[in-house]
Amino acid sequence: MPNGLAIEARGLFKAFDGKTAVDGIDIRVPEGSIYGILGPNGAGKTTTIRMLLGIIDPDRGERTLLGHANPLEAAKIVGYLPEERGLYPAMTARESIAFMGALRGLPLSVGRARAAGLLKDNGLGDYVDKPVKTLSKGMAQTVQLFGTIVHQPKLIVLDEPFSGLDAINQGRLETLIREEAAAGATVIFSTHVIAHAERLCERIAIIARGKVRFEGSVADARDRLRPQVRLTTRSDDGPWRSALPARAKLEDGVWSFELPEGGIEPLLRALLDSGAGIEDLSIERPGLHDAFVAIAGGEAAREMGQPIPGDVE
């Protein structure tokens, strides 16, 4: 792309029956990057993705997909895993993958050969000729994912791809996303589980109630918050207390506060001078979850919940 962007969207707006679902969203996805759309349920992620792909048209706003003002013109070089999944139960794993590739213009014979390779390379070689109905839900989802990438798309769009997968399959999917990006594809996925985005994404958009609340790198999101200091001392009183930031909180014998602009050294000096006895001291960079709370608000964060390893829905 001349501007280096796989996706560029400006002012996307969509209402259903007079109710605003997406309220003026801007998104810029650099080519070759892994990009995350984060937000609680109902935030407008799926509607945004559908507009980006041209499955539905926005009421207002524009989008360019791989250089095409009409996203459907890029269909053959796009792979899309929708949020609502489904395969033909009687079709074998290999045929399902080849069939999905054929829908995007890949010759069936090539699709069949690649399908067998994808399944074998990922420990599913025994299932090549098994009907989809005999596979577990997670395996079937993996098969659908292979069908999404079998035509080797330049842009891979995955709507909540981690939902419904156990921890092992989630890990496999993370590896696959990294491999596809390393091979030059752009990957964009939506999630309401922050941990996946934190591990994978170069850039993220945090969406809440139809609006982008933050767009940028994971590091930028974290940098919105100061590191957190936690301190435990042997004696809980002394002249050092006046060196604590005004907003320091004491709970169960542990002081917690934001790292002061002037650093930790003045407090350390006061602690040493007054022999407070430092029992425990940590300075921690906030995680993406904390940044999310600060950016999107506590309500959205509660809807998102804490990242749960091996989250299965």
Ligand X SMILES: Nc1ncnc2c1ncn2[C@@H]1O[C@H](COP(=O)(O)OP(=O)(O)O)[C@@H](O)[C@H]1O
Q: How far is the CB of 309 from Mg ion (least distance, A)?
A: 22
Q: Which stretch binds ligand X (CB under 6 A): 28-36, 43-51, 93-101, 211-219?
A: 43-51
Q: How far is the CB of 144 from ligand X (least distance, A)?
A: 18
CB atoms within 10 A of CB 295: 18
Residues that bind Mg ion (rule: CB under 5 A) add up to a total of 3
Question: Does 16 contact ligand X by CB under 6 A?
Answer: yes
Q: Which stretch binds ligand X (CB under 6 A): 38-46, 165-173, 233-241, 305-313?
A: 38-46
Question: Does 46 contact Mg ion by CB under 5 A?
Answer: yes
Q: Which does 47 bind (CB under 5 to 8 A by kind): Mg ion, ligand X, none?
A: ligand X
Q: How far is the CB of 266 from ligand X (least distance, A)?
A: 45
Question: Does 191 contact ligand X by CB under 6 A?
Answer: no
Question: Does 39 contact ligand X by CB under 6 A?
Answer: yes
CB atoms within 10 A of CB 118: 22
CB 296 within 8 A of CB 42: no
Among 60, 100, 61, CA closest to 80: 100
Q: How far is the CB of 41 from ligand X (least distance, A)?
A: 4
Between 187 and 267, name the residue whose CB sits nearer to ligand X: 187
Q: How many CA atoms lie within 13 A of 249 on its CB side?
A: 6
Q: Which residues partner with 68 through β-bridges?
A: 65
Question: Does 47 contact ligand X by CB under 6 A?
Answer: yes
SS3 assignment for 161-179: CCCCCCHHHHHHHHHHHHH
CB 307 within 8 A of CB 289: yes
Q: Which residues partner with 232 through β-bridges?
A: 280
Question: Does 42 contact ligand X by CB under 6 A?
Answer: yes
Q: How far is the CB of 58 from ligand X (least distance, A)?
A: 12
Question: Does 196 contact ligand X by CB under 6 A?
Answer: no
Query: CA-to-CA distance for 49 and 55, rounded, in angstroms?
Result: 9
Query: CA-to-CA distance for 88 and 210, rounded, in angstroms?
Result: 34
Q: Which stretch binds ligand X (CB under 6 A): 40-48, 129-137, 138-146, 225-233?
A: 40-48
> For residues 236-265, which are near ligand X according to CB under 6 A?
none
Question: Does 46 contact ligand X by CB under 6 A?
Answer: yes
Between 43 and 296, name the residue whose CB sits nearer to ligand X: 43
Q: What is the dihedral of CA 260, 262, 268, 274, to 10 degrees?
A: -100
Q: Which does 176 bind (CB under 5 to 8 A by kind): ligand X, Mg ion, none?
A: none
Question: Does 147 contact ligand X by CB under 6 A?
Answer: no
3-class secondary-structure state, position 281: strand
Kind and range of the H or E element at 52? helix 45-53
Between 21 and 185, name the residue whose CB sits nearer to ligand X: 21
Query: CA-to-CA distance for 28 and 131, rounded, in angstroms?
Result: 40
3-class secondary-structure state, position 9: strand
Q: Which residues partner with 15 through β-bridges?
A: 20
Q: How far is the CB of 127 from ligand X (least distance, A)?
A: 30
> In the bound complex, which residue of the shown chain has the CB atom lying closest to Mg ion?
46
The site for Mg ion (CB under 5 A) is made up of: 45-46, 83
The site for ligand X (CB under 6 A) is made up of: 16, 21, 39, 41-47
